[in-house]
Amino acid sequence: MSGEFGGVKGKHLVFAVCALFERGLGFRVYETCYDGPETATVVTENDRVRFDILMKQETTEGGVHYFCECKFRSSIKAKSELQSEFKDFVGNALKVLHYVKRKYTEDHFCFLFVATIPFDIWEENISDVEYLRKLVDNPNIDLNDLITLSNHLKITIVPRWLIKPLLRLAEV
């Protein structure tokens, strides 16, 4: 029962984030993980990586494609769990990095991690290549990949209180 409840809250967060970015910020969501079994999946030669949301921000230069992961947590006690999930997200971003870089070019993609509570990893951490190297904890990671990722990795917090108003916005 509790897993089902958590799944509903996670789903609500995904739809709230979609509403925030589509209705509030003018992005175009083109797939979520709830659209079907193979949706929001990036397929490379070696991996299949599923994200929660794939969306695009239109710009005068052609747009930026976002690969998003959303994590609902209701307690600040879940910080270490979120840190671990962020590490997994970074690992997934590295798996698809070469593919998205080829497909969208250097300035046209972003990996976005969305959580409902702060988890003590901040923008200054993820822009630090040495921090990412320690986080990934893989000595075989190419330094250039970490440099590229550090320029295309973002974190945002959508507080729990904002989810219901955003869901109402999505219904409009």
pLDDT tens for 47-72 read: 999 999 999 998 887 899 999 999 99
Read off the pTM.
0.93
Task: Please count the structural domains in the chain.
Answer: 1
Q: Nearest to residue 150, comparing CAs of 163, 136, 164, 162?
A: 136
Q: Identify the three-state secondary structure at position 43.
A: strand
Give strand pairing partners of 66.
Answer: 55, 110
pLDDT tens for 102-157 read: 999 988 999 999 999 999 999 999 999 999 999 998 888 999 999 999 999 999 99
In whole angstroms, give the CA distance from residue 119 to residue 106: 28
pLDDT tens for 69-104 read: 999 999 888 999 999 999 999 999 999 999 999 999
Give the structural domain span for 50: 2-171
Q: Are 44 and 7 in contact (CB under 8 A)?
A: no
Side chain identity, residue 149: L
Q: Are 75 and 133 in contact (CB under 8 A)?
A: no
